[in-house]
């Protein structure tokens, strides 16, 4: 079948790999990362980064199953592309001992057969000496099939693997879609692409590209990165990825020191206290060009200093991002019509399990739809 995938991000590139390996004639449409956010007038993505937490654990069964399925294929993706994107440094789930959220980590992990080491407040500072001591804290450390991935490198790996399996790559944004009885036409700057069916996996741009709401809201997100010197990199060498539980705005995710393409090593965290909707394409572009929220960055800096003992950093960088939420807690994966299918809406959870979401999108495009995922 002649198919097109719109969106060369995490889910779209994964779908293109799966469809190409099934023997379909695949065209993957989407631009490269913009060189300068402030001057860019096209689409944006949230995968322009080197660090996203990956783990098997999730409190919701669907996401837990998707995580496990995707992580099991990391080696396959590496073998097909030659691009390394995963580091198994483990994930520390951390929060007040009286919190039902942190208690449920141990319970759900045990039921699901996910190895987690439990630590009380004293045990935490012994096992992870970089942590600032906090009375009453509880931690669960997930040491296997957990750590972080580079979403940028994962997209590259999926794209290379798809291309090696026969996919054609068009390095341009899709400008519009029109459906007829015989197929779908996708407009790009250089011309039109004809396909029998199309999968739209364009993240926060999906609804505007389709010209209709599917009940999902795009929210602005701010991440903060701290550049570390050699001594701090060495001191934090055993640091895992971290998920901190607490009230909204006091529940950051934290990535360990990660080397970036600029030759520097950065520690990153995020966790916005307020959801700011991006209601149009103009809002999305303005947000990315703005460089993110300095106010949120100040709060995140306080949080990292409260959690990492004696942290010394040489530079702070503020980075804009976006994520898409719906009401069900599930992604939107399924057909809109006989020829157009969507796969998006991932609640900030999709990077680690994007290969499985792309596979599900591929199957939906071919007519195999899981009812609980249909929009």
Select the CATH number that applies to the domain covering 2-69+151-216+328-373 from these four: 3.50.50.60, 3.30.1370.110, 3.40.50.1860, 3.40.190.10. Answer: 3.50.50.60
Convert the pLDDT of each residue in 271-307 to its tens digit.
Answer: 999 999 999 999 999 999 999 999 999 999 999 999 9
**Span 47-52, average pLDDT:** 95
| 15 pLDDT higher than 60 | yes
Domain 86-149+217-325 has CATH 1.10.10.10: no
Residue of 260, 293, 262 whose CA lies nearest to 278: 293
User: Which residues lie below 8 Å from residue 144, measured CB to CB, with a gap of 6+?
Assistant: 88, 90, 115
Q: What is the pLDDT of residue 375?
A: 42
Convert the pLDDT of each residue in 54-84 to its tens digit.
Answer: 999 999 999 999 999 999 999 999 999 999 9
Q: What is the pLDDT of residue 369?
A: 67
**How far apart, in whole angstroms, are the C-alpha atoms of residue 296 and residue 269?**
11
For the chain, domain boundaries: 2-69+151-216+328-373, 86-149+217-325
Sign, CA torsion 94/98/99/104: positive
pTM of the model: 0.96
3-class DSSP assignment, residue 219:
strand
Asked if 2-69+151-216+328-373 and 86-149+217-325 have one fold, the answer is no
**How far apart, in whole angstroms, are the C-alpha atoms of residue 56 and residue 111?**
13
Convert the pLDDT of each residue in 235-268 to its tens digit.
Answer: 999 999 999 999 999 999 999 999 999 999 999 9
Q: DSSP labels for 149-199?
A: E-HHHHHHHHHHHHHHTT-EEE-S---EEEE-SS-EEEEETTEEEEESEEE
| 362 pLDDT higher than 70 | yes
Convert the pLDDT of each residue in 123-144 to its tens digit.
Answer: 999 999 999 988 999 999 999 9
**Span 227-233, average pLDDT:** 98
């Amino acid at each position: 079948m002649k198919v097109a995938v719109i969106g060369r991000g995490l889910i779209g590139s994964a779908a293109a790999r799966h469809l190409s390996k099934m023997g379909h004639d695949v065209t993957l449409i989407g631009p490269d990362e913009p060189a300068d956010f402030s001057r860019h007038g096209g689409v944006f993505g949230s995968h322009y980064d080197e660090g996203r937490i990956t783990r098997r654990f999730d409190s919701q069964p669907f996401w837990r199953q998707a995580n496990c399925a995707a992580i099991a294929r990391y080696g396959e993706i590496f073998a097909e592309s030659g691009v390394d994107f995963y580091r198994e440094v483990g994930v520390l789930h951390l929060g007040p001992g009286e919190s039902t959220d942190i208690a449920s980590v141990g319970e759900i992990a045990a039921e699901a057969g996910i190895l987690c080491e439990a630590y009380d407040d004293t045990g935490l500072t012994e096992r992870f000496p970089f942590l600032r001591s906090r009375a009453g804290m509880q931690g669960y450390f997930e040491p296997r099939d957990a750590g972080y991935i580079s979403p940028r490198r994962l997209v590259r790996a999926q794209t290379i693997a798809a291309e090696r399996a026969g996919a054609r790559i068009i390095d341009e944004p899709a400008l519009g879609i029109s459906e007829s009885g015989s197929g779908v036409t996708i407009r790009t700057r250089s011309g039109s692409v004809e396909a029998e069916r199309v999968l739209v996996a364009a993240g926060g741009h999906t609804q505007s590209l389709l010209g209709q709401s599917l009940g999902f809201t795009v929210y602005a997100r701010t991440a903060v990165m701290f550049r570390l010197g050699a001594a701090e990199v060495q001191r934090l060498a055993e640091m895992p990825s971290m998920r901190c539980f607490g009230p909204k705005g006091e529940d950051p995710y934290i990535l360990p020191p990660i080397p970036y393409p600029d030759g520097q090593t950065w520690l990153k965290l995020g966790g916005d206290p307020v959801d700011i909707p991006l209601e149009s394409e103009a809002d999305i572009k303005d947000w990315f060009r703005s460089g993110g929220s300095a106010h949120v960055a100040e709060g995140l800096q306080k949080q990292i200093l409260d959690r990492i003992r004696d942290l010394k950093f040489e530079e702070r960088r503020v980075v804009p991002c976006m994520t898409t939420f719906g009401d069900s807690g599930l992604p939107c994966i399924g057909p809109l019509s006989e020829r157009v299918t969507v796969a998006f809406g991932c609640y900030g959870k999709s990077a680690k399990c994007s290969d499985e979401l792309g596979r599900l999108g591929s199957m939906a495009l071919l007519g195999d739809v899981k009812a609980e995922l249909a929009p």
